[in-house]
A and B are shown apart, each in its own frame.
Chain A
Amino acid sequence: MNRTRILLSAAALLFASGAMPVLADDIVLGGSAPMSGAQAEFGQSQIDGAQLYFDQLNEKGGIKGNKVVFRPLDDRADPRQGTLVAQQFCDDSAVIGVIGHMNSGVTMPALDIYSECGMPQVVPATNPELMRMGFKTVVRPVANDFVQGALPAKYVTEKLGLKNAVLVHDKTVFGQGIAGVFKDNFEAGGGKVSGSYGTNPEDVDFSALIASIKLENPDVVYMGAGMPQLALFLKQMREQGLKAQFIGPDIGFTVDFITQVGAASAEGALMTFQLPPYDSSPELKDFSDRHQARFGRAPGPYASLGFANAQVMAAAVEKAESLDRAGVLAQLHGVTVETLLGPVAFDENGENTTAPMYLYVVKDGKFELIKQ
């Protein structure tokens, strides 16, 4: 008697906890990025961008007459939460594709789980390793960190003629990795790296480190770290009167960077980013307007990437012979599509063959694109 009751209530719980009802012919796609915590601004913007595309698609009648249901889950930029999310998507047989995760550190452990359940995955994370781990279920439309580290190294050695650099990184997979890529390219361009310094990801006081960097008298400082560390470092660097050219990666591409450093001190800082500004083409302007109309706010930093990733995923679903994971997966690598951010086609590793990278400079308290 007792056992039946337990079983019954367990079954009831299962039903109750099942997510919103999905009609049999709806296409369910998952998405995951940090939607809370310090990186929420970046993560939420990706989710919003993807949502915008799927809304647009549904207005036109969906894919092959089926409505697309986009189901975003928060991974909090936490690898443990990320694997839980991955498992949740895998366990829900209605989900036939996932766009995620934003952070390389979260994506890496989740890859294994997605590949095990044959889940087609479009990855926005940028660590080069991700596509070299041999998983066949993933593609990446965005440029990886090899491109991101190489572009500013080429720019400062060739255009600015700066030859003496110091590297600072926060010892994370991302920070240390990208600083290493910058180093290789900077040296290949004839520059000399006179020092490489590690800090803790949570550090806020860099004064001692900056004083010792001053002894090296560098003309370039490349920092592979997150926010607010990038801002704090540059602020303290300028306070100590170290005038070197400062370069940072995509995480610093936010208005917060400039407010936290102070517009005067931030002036001239270089930052790489995977996406062009929202006023750089008529399509992007149109996207920006539609985003404003749909969500009541301007698109966040990664919104256009979220939109483009959704376009890639939708194109694979469109071509799929059967609307299940295997069907989408069969089409994923071969997909070619003209996205909001340009043409996308994948090489044998699942990397985009023509992924662009953009270099921005802080000018008068704003990020301004440097024309190549």
Chain B
Amino acid sequence: MLDYFLQQLIFALAIGAIYGLIALGYTMVYGVMRLINFAHGEFFMLGPYVYTFIFSGLIGLGGLAPVLDSVIAIVASFVIVGLLGVAIERFAYRPLRAYGRLAPMLSALGMSIVLQSAVRVTVGPQPVHFPAIVPSTPIDALGGMVTTVQFGILVAAVLLMVGLTLFVNGTRLGIWIRAASESWTTSSLLGIRVNRAVSLVFFIGPGLGAMAGIMYASYYGIMQPTMGSVIGLKAFTAAILGGIGSIPGAMLGGFLLGAIETFGTAFLPILSFGYIGTEYRDVFAFAVLILVLLFKPAGLLGETVSEETTVAKKDY
């Protein structure tokens, strides 16, 4: 039984890491702009498509060592999707900033449809096979079995999360981001260029989303234009669970949601003696979410926002 538990824990960590990475994008944008970026799931989807494009392009040009090709393609997808995020913020959200919160949110929904349809039209609607970046070999660990891909996902995701935490807490650019999310007006009075902080957030968030997309596609072996919708919603849930606006909260929320889903599937039938099947997994997962929000409306690590600060932030 312990083996079984450890095995499930490995699955939970792998999917949780992916949820966490995407949730970071939602939470950072919300932190700085109080905007729920509904287009975020599409950056996740674009990641593997851009990767495949660059990677096969490199191979087509003769290619370098296969490892080097992959690394270049990964970095390039981070940068390209990140820049796309910056451009979308600049041209689809920023002009609407003066019109309250609803307008940019609708614009985000529109962007989501635009991006998804664009990929559907140009590349095609069918799921496409995505070859794993590292070959998937099973390794025995802790009485369970972990594949190299799962292990790679976990390591890469934790590295990215640690990197982001160091960046936000320890660098000058990170101070911009934190200042802008604390108070827009005050930071601009103190000489911080708030718009640059926003652009930065819209570079990092989509970039991380693209990384999560590449991990996801190489984990499951496929990519499709609609893959961002369901998982985007899940990651958004994870961000809320952890406390939207909080960076550690998004990571925690991601891992928690992964764990709830996995253990829901693994143990619901056993614990209920077969009366509650695996099909109740989502009912269970979202019931947990509602319970958490009933007792901690700001999420697990979210700051309780007073009426006053909300007003101040809204009228930046």
Residues in chain A within 8 A of chain B (CB atoms)? 36-38, 40-41, 171, 195-200, 202, 204-205, 207-209, 211-212, 215, 227-228, 231-232, 235, 239-241, 256, 259-260, 262
Q: Pull 25 A–B residue pairs with CB atoms less than 8 Å apart, ordered by A.
A: A37-B125, A171-B279, A197-B278, A199-B278, A200-B281, A202-B230, A207-B11, A207-B14, A207-B15, A208-B12, A208-B261, A208-B265, A209-B265, A211-B8, A212-B266, A232-B220, A235-B221, A239-B136, A240-B138, A241-B138, A241-B145, A256-B127, A256-B129, A259-B129, A260-B129
Q: A41-B126, A197-B277, A256-B129 are in contact. Are A228 and B224 (CB under 8 A)?
A: yes
Give bound CA distance, A208 to B8, whole Å: 6
5 smallest CB-CB distances across A and B, nearest first, come from A198-B279, A208-B265, A207-B11, A208-B262, A228-B127
How many residue pairs, one in A and one in B, have C-beta atoms under 8 Å apart?
A: 86
Instruction: Report chain A residues within 8 Å CB of B316.
Output: none
B278 touches A211 (CB 8 A): no
- Choose from B125, B261, B265 the contact partner of A212 (Cβ within 8 Å): B265
Shortest distance from the beta carbon of B2 to any chain A beta carbon, whole Å: 13
Interface size on B, residues (CB 8 A): 34
Indicate whether B282 reaches chain A with its CB closer than 8 angstroms.
yes
Indicate whether B270 reaches chain A with its CB closer than 8 angstroms.
yes
Indicate whether B133 reaches chain A with its CB closer than 8 angstroms.
no
A215 touches B4 (CB 8 A): yes
A211 touches B4 (CB 8 A): yes
Instruction: Report chain B residues within 8 Å CB of A259.
Output: 129
Q: Which chain A residue has the least Cβ–Cβ distance from B229?
A: A202
Instruction: Report chain A residues within 8 Å CB of B11.
Output: 205, 207-208, 211
Instruction: Report chain A residues within 8 Å CB of B129.
Output: 256, 259-260
Indicate whether B269 reaches chain A with its CB closer than 8 angstroms.
yes
Instruction: Report chain A residues within 8 Å CB of B136.
Output: 239
Give bound CA distance, A262 to B12, whole Å: 24
Give bound CA distance, A215 to B265, whole Å: 14
Q: Mark B220-264, 1 if CB is under 8 A from A, else 0.
A: 111010110010000000000000000000000000000001110
Instruction: Report chain B residues within 8 Å CB of A232.
Output: 220-222
Indicate whether B107 reaches chain A with its CB closer than 8 angstroms.
no
Q: Would you call the interface of chain A mostly helix, strand, loop, or mixed?
A: mixed
B270 touches A239 (CB 8 A): no
B277 touches A196 (CB 8 A): yes
Q: Which chain A residue has the least Cβ–Cβ distance from B261?
A: A208
Give bound CA distance, A227 to B270, whole Å: 28
Given A41-B126, A211-B8: 20 more A-B contacts, CB < 8 Å: A38-B125, A40-B126, A197-B279, A198-B277, A199-B279, A200-B279, A202-B230, A204-B222, A208-B266, A211-B4, A212-B270, A212-B278, A227-B127, A235-B221, A239-B136, A240-B145, A241-B138, A260-B127, A260-B222, A262-B221
Instruction: Report chain A residues within 8 Å CB of B261.
Output: 208
Give bound CA distance, A297 to B188, whole Å: 62
A260 touches B278 (CB 8 A): no
Shortest distance from the beta carbon of A173 to any chain B beta carbon, whole Å: 14
Instruction: Report chain A residues within 8 Å CB of B269.
Output: 195, 197, 212
- Choose from A37, A205, A211 the contact partner of B266 (Cβ within 8 Å): A211
Indicate whether B7 reaches chain A with its CB closer than 8 angstroms.
yes
Indicate whether B185 reaches chain A with its CB closer than 8 angstroms.
no
Q: Which chain A residue has the least Cβ–Cβ distance from B15?
A: A205
Shortest distance from the beta carbon of B154 to any chain A beta carbon, whole Å: 13
Give bound CA distance, A228 to B281, whole Å: 20
